[in-house]
Structure 1
Amino acid sequence: MNESVQESRSIDHFFSAPSGRTDLWRDLHAAARSWASGTKNRRAVEAALTELGVSEEFHAFPGADLLAALRGLLQNDDANGFLSLAKRISIAIITGNYKHDAKEWQAADLSLAEPVDIVPASAADGVSRPYFEMLTVTPAPLGRWPHIAAEFRRLRRSEDAFVYEAVLVGSLEDAICAAVVNPDIAAVAIYEGFTLRSRHDAPVLRSVLAAQQPLLDQVDEADLALRLAAGLKAIRPELDIYLLSDRRVEKLAGDPRAAMVRRVMYQIEEPLELHLSVLEGIQARFETPFFDNLKRYAQRPIATFHALPIARGKSVFRSPWIRDMGQFYGINLFLAESSATTGGLDSLLEPTGNIKRAQEMAARAFGADHVFFVTNGTSTSNKMVLQALIAPGDIVILDRNCHKSHHYGLVLSGAQPFYVEAFPMVEFSMYGAVPLRTIKKALLDLKAEGRLDRVKMVDLTNCTFDGHIYNTRRVMEECLAIKPDLIFLWDEAWFGFARWSPFLRPRTGMGAAADIEAWAKTPEALAQHERQVAELGASPSLEKLLDTRLVPDPRAIRLRVYQTNSTHKSMSAIRQGSMVLVRDVEFHRVEAQFHEAVFTHASTSPNQQLIASLDVARRQMELEGYGLVMNAIEVALDIRREVNSHPVIAKYFSIVGADGMVPSEYRRSGFVDFLAPGTRWDDQLRSMREDEFCLDPTRMTLVCGTAGFDGTSFKGLLASQYNIQVNKTSRNSVLLQSNINNTRSDVALLISVLLKISESIETRLKQGGDSERKAFNAKVQSLMKDVPDLPNFSHFHETFRQDAGDTTPEGDIRSAFFGAYNEEQCEYVPIDSAECDRRLKDGPDMVSANFVIPYPPGFPIMVPGQVVTHETITFMRKLDVKEIHGYEKARGLKLLKVDRVGGKKSGGQETARKKTRAT
């Protein structure tokens, strides 16, 4: 492939290295077929084989022997033989057959020096053992590598639960590349004595290594092994690393930097010890404590005398009326049901056994100190965190457009929301994310009011429904520079998968917290802070503080980070499976409160299958999450490319680029879009590192208004006529999401459906003449141009601000919410009435009695206690959606008669300020 083509494909090839590899093998197979049929000469085959390049050395299959066999057939001009072998290798890679069929490793005319025992089927159960690959970094000469790989094969035993092949490299650069491009690598054995630089200088290698330049710049030749281990952990923290040395391993094992290494071993000792250690490490991730116990429980003969008739399935399978439910779901669902928490099971509310162990393993996997399983969805997870950490009278800086669970959590806790606004995207009737400057100003305004001590939390959504990702580290660092003990709640309901991407991980709450912890321990951290203190002077102005990237005092910060994940939204968990991730240095002080919050919100009858699916989802992501997320990104990039470049589809549909979703002032790197001409993947990486907001590549805003469809009707069309389901819509768009479940066949279906719809529009416009064209253009104009302005939060009525600051906008949402429970204190005003217009103009103020949430866009345009403004009413009048939660069209807006509410403070507000609390 020429350099220009390689440049244009670099971003998708990098983010989708596994599928990019299969494409190259398909290309080789196609070229071989053309050569064998006589339509092309062997030059095309040579070029395709060359294109596979050095990256094939980073995979165990097909390996050096099969590649040598291919090259031999090429040199001998054996077109048919080359086609046969290339086809078999290509199919084996695409299907993964080589992982369980030893014949795939053999060439017809090749006798391997060593037998290859790849995943033999067990005679007992007929199930193949899971396969993985072990990266082996060795100083041994190239000629010995086949013997080293064969030695590892000879160590295999029938008792082994897993089977692996070794991938050998001889340098730090090659090791980094292998870990990036090969998702099958699950363990790494590092033998000291390897070199720094690769023996290759291929463009693909240099492209991958460009992202790791900071790592390469810091390498000390005498300390290569530990630096490599640290680099690999930074890219893929799930990998087990084994360090083998011929030095004093006792001293090496005691080095604090070796903490990331699973085991340090003496290099010349029996290799069986390494083999067993590697398998033990995989088993430690493969284990699913609760799921394993649930399977054993389901196989036991148990008589149940508790209140769960469905347990064991007798009431189902013995019934002539509901037996079909049992046939549909299968017997194991019922055998695995119980309301007991003994006999091998455990209690989700007070876990002491396998659920506790499963949560500890999830904490390790997700980079948290603690993890709590939640079976009521992330709505409940958010309310748990808010109840545990926030008390009446506390102030929470909250994105006004966040999920309703946060608003309701503040209602329940009695805290005061300080609403901050996200940047608007009026064209699509949606909001983005909250600029850091806005958050900092809120904190500094509260500080000026003397109320900073009341601020307990910053609560933000990351990433947003539409894919906006915060620079989480920068947000937390700058906020901690203003108030060192702030708590952060990152609602990452849609972003749990990001842990398994080295590009997205730093932008997660847990990933950023780890980076801040590491930074705070360095001498440079204090030096940076002290330099900034000197530069700012004693009394910096508000504008100066807002314009400066603030550096916190590493001695003062108390890092308290909570992250909620809807595991079911991006991983293989059953619906409503969620997790709360905790990285809080003060957790020991609030642990009792947290458990009380769990008792308050969690069901006392949690679903066993939900808990088991959370356990299994963690296992899958630890063992194959890296590759699955790479595939999800690849699917998204395929969709973006095909929709935006198709000659017919692109006339009516488009997927909005990063430049359309993130204003330029928040993209200082200059990044435009993933597949914009001239864009390289390292441009995206720089954007991820530097920009205030980035776009999650797996979330795609598909504009349908240019095809004459509003989001709701287009969503319905896709579901009813084409069996394609989407979730979120806006006035003129639908949101497409790729995840670990999607395949390229899904992409093909979507593109074919969009083409059919586009062609039907073309036909209708052609046959309908000018009148049809005018009607179509008018519809597009209405959807794309005549869009209503988005209303910001106005303000709380003074009745609910008696405990608020003079210039800051927080308010008592709890009193307003419960004031609406008394119908005598409420009234209704239709939004299209003359009364509504009169009240807007002459008063008295109209004060919302509840949350009003139109779908789409799905955010609350009114909250209890908020004064209704002309902008809000205008927006509602222009909405053409059928679903508006909190609004009864027949009666109108539900309003509070504030003169009758009395402005009561929420319970405990006065004592909250005087009360010494752990939070």
Structure 2
Amino acid sequence: MSSQAPVGTSSLDQIFSLGAVRSDLWRDLLVAAQKWARQEGDSQVVQEKFQHLRDLEILHAYPGRHLMATLAAHLQEDRRTAFVELASRISFAILARYYKDDSREWEANNDVDHYGDIRHEGESLGGGRPYFEVLVVAPGNSPRVERNVQLLRAQRRKEDDFVYEPVVVDNFQDAFCAISVNSNICAVAIFEGIDFKSKQSVPLLDQAIQELDVHVDESHLALQLAVTLADYRPELDIYLLSDLRPEEIASDERAKSVRRVLYAVEEPMELHLSILEGVRARYQTPFFDNLKRYASKPISTFHALPIARGKSVFKSDWIRDMGEFYGLNLFLAESSATTGGLDSLLEPTGNIKKAQERAAKAFGAEHCFFVTNGTSTSNKMVLMAIAQPGDIIIVDRNCHKSHHYGMVLGGLQPYYVEAFPMKEYSMYGAVPLQNIKRALLNLKKEGKLDQVRAVDLTNCTFDGHVYNTRRVMLECLAIKPDLVFLWDEAWFGFAHWSPFLRPRTAMGAASYIEKWMANPESVKEYERQQQELGDNPSDEQLLNTYLLPDPRQVRLRVYQTNSTHKSMSAIRQGSMVLVKDVDFYSIEPQLHEAIFTHATTSPNQQLIASLDVARRQMELEGYGLVNNAIQIAFDIRSQINKHPLISRYFQVLGADKMIPAEYRQSGFQDFLVEGTNWDDAVCSIRDDEFFLDPTRITLVCGTAGFDGTQFKQLLADKFDIQLNKTSRNSVLLQSNINNTRSDVAHLIRVLLEISSDVEQKLTKTGEQGKLRFEERVNSLMHDVPDLPNFSHFHEKFRHDSNGAVAVEGNIREAFFMSWKEENCEYVALNSEECDRRLKEGPPMVSAKMVIPYPPGFPILVPGQVISRDTIEFMRKLDVKEVHGYEASRGLQLLKLR
């Protein structure tokens, strides 16, 4: 296989897990200090821990130099009690985030007013205003820079919408460390004249800078830093302050990463106002802000929405409790009008349009559309907009049912490609790239490539399999340069806010491909590969080469659907369609028609507002929230797999169990494998065909004697722990921005209790009980049904051509044929008739979409010939919920003979 990859490939190493464990380091210091104060510990241990924290805390505004210097003095002068008291207060303030609100937390002595008339004793630091930090990167040992920082502080007023504190570093490397570790940083001010090398000893820093593909250019180091920081955290506002010719810097191509260039010697007020304005721009939520204003108006309603303004609720003797439960604002903010300051979701021209534009920018898209019917509707909208009846869509057979139904509605012909199976856990993974390429090459041979409109895949899958989206799109575009891509990222919307996961999102990969195409080297790479492949490369060559498209021919068309409510702070059913499509304006009328077709004309105002607010939150604190969610997932994995009792009965599956070795080209096994570090993980994220989303945790419960449904019920009924996805022998746990370490502690305590119960029962029931337990475990873990692949469409629903047997089929025709009773028949699943038909015919053809939960993928679609594998799978199913199948009547079949 060719190892050649597109120019500019680089990786980012998460060298700073310190941001997530900062409070733990302070607690460790406090424990050591308390032992030292009791004459039980060595001051050298305290000194080492304090120095480690001191190196880290230069990257945070709090506790700041003043408090750290005071702690150092206490340590140096052996003032043990004073050291413990101050370290304790700092530790708790960081953990509880008190320093963001109370100015006294910033003082070594609460009676001292360090900030003069800017802060007063006992006064709230922010007065209820949001707090953030500004990274100031300026030359060290410069009185003028220190003066500018003091002047910047002096500009702050109580009338400001927000309050901030500066974090000052003097070099490139420390600046990168700061934005990696410190999620409070919302803006960066870079002065010219900075150094590159850090004075701190930070492990792996040089390697990380090298992997960032940073080549030091001393004459433009400040501008180069701006580009690097913007690539890593694109939500940051970056300001460049120059002593010389700021207008020339502003004209540099790299200045696109900079919000504003200022003349350093005369602009402290301008910088202050710019910082506030930049944060204000992200903080503003056009629709939500307007909805709040609307709710405060005395409005009389004469439209068809009785609950608007809440009078029918609060004046009722019988439903007043609903108003008391939800609160007055919910009803004051309801309306069916799209005038009087409100806007229409179907034809937005005002605040909804602005909210969508802000969301598009935030997620790295060109366009964004809010959807209030869930991502099921988003997927149908996109399919209807990008394709016409008869078009072929290459699609994962195991994708969400909305894709299949979208093809039914649109008259599209699905060409199903199979994901790799994980039989032992009764689940599928994702579709190998070779399967997708093979489908395209087969269609090309059959002369149908012009009918192929799109590739439709789920990224990431329910169980956490993440595609190498960049590679999938590049290689598919090498075969058909105008393919449209629909990436269903219902579960993966949060990933944009992780610099490590972002390249694997649809929009992240599309941005990379855009840059690659704009680089003149891309044409040379393409032409070089064409020479290597020769004039008539075999399919085997094409399947085993990392194909590059001709950048001059590519029409980059990418659609991403996000279930915003699944991973961000949006109300249930809140979804977004993100678009990066070079041909968008030519199909925009079609997309609008698709929206008119599928969207409700009465969208929920609170839902729209929550999408607006979810964007605000992710722009201002998403980086820290996502890092925390990932850290919590690591904690869960580690606690379960390393606990001596819990690990006897439960196990979290790693990448080595969830992804076959051939799709982990880097050799990466799992985050918890001994000796594995972030360098290994970064290599896997960059290169491997599939990567496992760390926030999705497959917990095997079959080894404890529970099937997935049973264990899910136990957790919900007895322990108030909720989850939704299960398989025959596992459940799926998800960490998200809502979880805390308390949630982890509760989960681990519950698993320990369950494990203890299993252990005690085995002890009490003796050898017979152990034998029954082993039989139950064997049934769940080893006696599992084979997973059936898609068989084929019946010839009636295929359009064979050129002598080739078509794989794609007319799913719409089969679907609507079943609506006439005379076209249908029923055969019992376990009957002799079913066995006879399998053996002798005529073939049984499904009339319905049949979807067992779990595993949740359609094992049958309309028009599909039913195979023995599918029948055997259904006979072994032990789940009660099977959509599209009535056990009392049997399989619904189409009469075609």
**TM-score bracket, shorter-length normalisation:** over 0.9
User: Where does residue 380 of structure 2 map in the other structure?
Assistant: 383
Residue 136 (structure 2) pairs with residue 139 (structure 1):
no
1:43 to partner: Cα distance: 2.4
Deviation by residue 1:15-45 (Cα, 9 ceiling, x = unmatched):
7433311110111111122222232232221
Aligned partners of 2:379 and 2:406 also within 8 Å: yes
One-letter code of the match for 2:162?
Answer: F
Q: 1:320 to 1:442 in 2, by over 3 A?
A: same
Q: Which runs of 5+ in 2 are unaligned?
A: 1-11
**Partner Cα distance (1:626, 1:163) in 2:** 20
Aligned partners of 1:667 and 1:693 also within 8 Å: yes
One-letter code of the match for 1:887?
Answer: Y
Aligned partners of 2:111 and 2:121 also within 8 Å: no
User: Where does residue 329 of structure 1 map in the other structure?
Assistant: 326
**Partner Cα distance (2:757, 2:666) in 1:** 41
Q: 1:817 to 1:23 in 2, by over 3 A?
A: same
User: Where does residue 450 of structure 2 map in the other structure?
Assistant: 453
Deviation by residue 1:773-811 (Cα, 9 ceiling, x = unmatched):
000000000000111110000000111113567244111
Q: Which of 875, 878, 902 does residue 876 from structure 2 map onto?
A: 878
For 1:712-861, list aligned pairs within 5 A. 712-802=709-799, 806-861=804-859
Aligned partners of 2:702 and 2:781 also within 8 Å: yes
One-letter code of the match for 1:467?
Answer: G
User: Where does residue 472 of structure 1 map in the other structure?
Assistant: 469
One-letter code of the match for 2:812?
Answer: R
1:117 to partner: Cα distance: 4.5
1:219 to partner: Cα distance: 2.7
Residue 553 (structure 2) pairs with residue 552 (structure 1):
no
User: Where does residue 165 of structure 2 map in the other structure?
Assistant: 165
Deviation by residue 1:728-763 (Cα, 9 ceiling, x = unmatched):
000000000000000000000000000000000000
3-state SS of 1:58 partner: coil
**Partner Cα distance (1:502, 1:896) in 2:** 50
1:255 to partner: Cα distance: 1.7
1:559 to partner: Cα distance: 0.3
Q: Which of 205, 215, 218 does residue 218 from structure 1 map onto?
A: 215
User: Where does residue 653 of structure 1 map in the other structure?
Assistant: 650
For 1:582-661, list aligned pairs within 5 A. 582-661=579-658
Residue 92 (structure 2) pairs with residue 91 (structure 1):
yes
Deviation by residue 1:33-82 (Cα, 9 ceiling, x = unmatched):
22222322322211221232412111011111111110110111111100
3-state SS of 2:601 partner: coil
For 1:392-407, list aligned pairs within 5 A. 392-407=389-404
One-letter code of the match for 1:374?
Answer: V
User: Where does residue 579 of structure 1 map in the other structure?
Assistant: 576
Q: Which of 385, 405, 409 does residue 408 from structure 1 map onto?
A: 405
**Partner Cα distance (1:198, 1:580) in 2:** 42
**Partner Cα distance (1:238, 1:389) in 2:** 30
1:249 to partner: Cα distance: 1.4
One-letter code of the match for 2:854?
Answer: P
User: Where does residue 340 of structure 1 map in the other structure?
Assistant: 337
1:151 to partner: Cα distance: 2.8
1:126 to partner: Cα distance: 9.6
**Partner Cα distance (2:323, 2:84) in 1:** 50
User: Where does residue 8 of structure 2 map in the other structure?
Assistant: none
**Partner Cα distance (2:449, 2:771) in 1:** 57
Deviation by residue 1:368-407 (Cα, 9 ceiling, x = unmatched):
0000000000000000000111111100000000000000
User: Where does residue 186 of structure 1 map in the other structure?
Assistant: 186
**Partner Cα distance (2:580, 2:334) in 1:** 33
User: Where does residue 45 of structure 1 map in the other structure?
Assistant: 46
User: Where does residue 416 of structure 2 map in the other structure?
Assistant: 419
1:212 to partner: Cα distance: 3.3
Q: 1:127 to 1:266 in 2, by over 3 A?
A: closer
Residue 285 (structure 2) pairs with residue 284 (structure 1):
no
**Partner Cα distance (1:216, 1:847) in 2:** 56
**Partner Cα distance (2:472, 2:759) in 1:** 48
**Partner Cα distance (1:767, 1:487) in 2:** 61
**Partner Cα distance (2:310, 2:119) in 1:** 40
User: Where does residue 916 of structure 1 map in the other structure?
Assistant: none
Aligned partners of 1:496 and 1:566 also within 8 Å: yes
**Partner Cα distance (1:348, 1:103) in 2:** 47
**Partner Cα distance (2:121, 2:450) in 1:** 64
For 1:62-77, list aligned pairs within 5 A. 62-77=63-78
Q: 1:257 to 1:143 in 2, by over 3 A?
A: closer
One-letter code of the match for 1:188?
Answer: V
1:114 to partner: Cα distance: 4.6
Deviation by residue 1:283-333 (Cα, 9 ceiling, x = unmatched):
000000000000000000000000000000000000010000000000000
Q: Which of 336, 350, 356 does residue 353 from structure 1 map onto?
A: 350
**Partner Cα distance (1:412, 1:491) in 2:** 18
User: Where does residue 241 of structure 2 map in the other structure?
Assistant: 244
1:207 to partner: Cα distance: 2.4
One-letter code of the match for 1:594?
Answer: L
More displaced stretch, 539-548 vs 38-47: 38-47
Calculate percent identity across the aligned residue pairs. 65
User: Where does residue 3 of structure 1 map in the other structure?
Assistant: none
Q: 1:260 to 1:78 in 2, by over 3 A?
A: same
**Partner Cα distance (1:602, 1:697) in 2:** 33
1:882 to partner: Cα distance: 0.5
User: Where does residue 177 of structure 1 map in the other structure?
Assistant: 177
**Partner Cα distance (2:122, 2:874) in 1:** 63
Q: Which of 224, 235, 250 does residue 253 from structure 1 map onto?
A: 250
3-state SS of 1:782 partner: helix
Aligned partners of 1:496 and 1:567 also within 8 Å: yes
More displaced stretch, 162-171 vs 30-39: 30-39
Q: 1:677 to 1:723 in 2, by over 3 A?
A: same
Aligned partners of 2:792 and 2:807 also within 8 Å: yes
User: Where does residue 861 of structure 2 map in the other structure?
Assistant: 863
**Partner Cα distance (1:32, 1:158) in 2:** 38
3-state SS of 1:639 partner: helix
User: Where does residue 32 of structure 2 map in the other structure?
Assistant: 31
1:89 to partner: Cα distance: 0.4
One-letter code of the match for 1:399?
Answer: D
Q: 1:677 to 1:117 in 2, by over 3 A?
A: farther
Q: Which runs of 5+ in 1 are unaligned?
A: 1-10, 900-919
3-state SS of 1:312 partner: coil
3-state SS of 2:634 partner: helix
Q: Which of 527, 539, 547 does residue 524 from structure 2 map onto?
A: 527
User: Aligned pair count?
Assistant: 885
**Partner Cα distance (2:705, 2:801) in 1:** 47
**Partner Cα distance (2:127, 2:164) in 1:** 16
Aligned partners of 1:643 and 1:650 also within 8 Å: yes
1:264 to partner: Cα distance: 0.8
Aligned partners of 2:86 and 2:108 also within 8 Å: yes
Aligned partners of 2:137 and 2:171 also within 8 Å: yes
Q: 1:409 to 1:465 in 2, by over 3 A?
A: same
Aligned partners of 1:101 and 1:120 also within 8 Å: no
**Partner Cα distance (2:741, 2:143) in 1:** 39
**Partner Cα distance (1:801, 1:116) in 2:** 80
**Partner Cα distance (1:38, 1:120) in 2:** 35
User: Where does residue 697 of structure 2 map in the other structure?
Assistant: 700
One-letter code of the match for 2:895?
Answer: K
What TM-score do the two structures reach when normalised by structure 1?
A: 0.94
Aligned partners of 1:12 and 1:637 also within 8 Å: no
Q: 1:438 to 1:703 in 2, by over 3 A?
A: same
3-state SS of 1:108 partner: coil
**Partner Cα distance (2:13, 2:552) in 1:** 42
